Amino acid sequence: MLDRFAIHQPASLLEASQMLAHFGPDAAVYAGGTELLVAMKERLTHFPHLIDIKRIRGLRDITYDEKRRQLTVGAVIRHRDLERSPLVRERFPTLADLEAAVANVRVRTVGTIGGNLCFAEPHSDPATLLTALDARLTLHSASGERDLPIADFFTGLMETARRHDEVLAAIAIPEPPANTGVAYERFKLHERPTAAVAAVITVDDGAITDARIVAGSVGERPQRLPETEALLRGQPVASSLASTAADRIRDEVETAADAFESESYKRQLARTVGRRAIAAALHRASGEEGGRHAA
């Protein structure tokens, strides 16, 4: 049973943030409700006022800016929309594949990308890949708009840099440079992933010029792995490289214990999915899948 609440349906981002400011802690943004309503039903939290942002124009757009080489996704886009969008499939096939395996079709048909990121549940698939892709988030409040790198958004376990009166409006994903391979690998035993690694690797003349490696699900939030990245940078592409880098992932990653898996098991899983992600990204960056880049 849910306690009583009122649903407000603002027509604009400004109106939504004004409502959040007006009701203060009594209000929450309501998108798909797949996390929010369950938490309210289980009486983990309660908000007498839900600000339903689904009617706000523009929050369901997916656009690609040729000049800036950037995909922009509205926050109320559902996982299922991302999975099926020809534009996402063409520009970021790894993201389309990731989305197709989020949760189950019922959750994907209702749950939004913005809700996923704002809830900051540590087992988020998109959070890990979007951190490796250096996405930027646009947050809207009554006092204006701000843009911040996704890496600065996740501040702790289910905590973000979003202020209470801010609505996440859009996510901008820059296209990686030429000769860059993008890969995401996860291991899933439960509803959500247990361990995941995203790799974005650029190769020039047979050597790695840039690497962004991010581990997700094993700790409190997505984490860049600078030691693993440094190990990869400058190295000639060789078949043993993914295993060597994966050993570093196992040693470098920070894990958080939970009721299901031990920390050493999570490290081992991060190593395994990390090796697969790095091998796949190197393969794609070397043009073996034929693209100028295979995001």
Contact at 8 Å (CB) between 270 and 264? no
Per-residue mark of binding to ligand FAD, 83-112 (x: CB under 6 A): -------------------xx---x--xxx
Task: Decide if residue 77 touches ligand FAD (CB under 6 A).
Answer: no
Binding positions for ligand FAD, 11-30, rule CB under 6 A? 28-30
Q: Which of 33, 122, 176, 274 forms a contact with ligand FAD (CB under 6 A)? A: 33
Per-residue mark of binding to ligand FAD, 187-226 (x: CB under 6 A): ----xxx---------------------------------
Task: Decide if residue 72 touches ligand FAD (CB under 6 A).
Answer: no
**CA atoms 13, 74, 214, 186: torsion sign:** positive
Structural tokens at position 144:
């204006």
The CB-of-136 to ligand FAD minimum distance in angstroms stands at 15
Nearer Cβ to ligand FAD, position 95 or 118? Answer: 118
The CB-of-144 to ligand FAD minimum distance in angstroms stands at 16
Q: CA-to-CA distance for 79 and 64, rounded, in angstroms?
A: 18
* 129 Cβ contact list (under 8 Å, min separation 6): 94, 95, 98, 182, 184, 198, 214
How many residues line the site for ligand FAD (CB under 6 A)? 31
Contact at 8 Å (CB) between 235 and 204? no
- In one-letter notation, the amino acid at residue 162 is R
Task: Decide if residue 114 touches ligand FAD (CB under 6 A).
Answer: yes
Binding positions for ligand FAD, 130-189, rule CB under 6 A? 162, 167-168
| Chain residues in the site for ligand FAD (CB under 6 A) | 28-36, 53, 75, 102-103, 107, 110-112, 114-116, 118-119, 124-126, 162, 167-168, 191-193
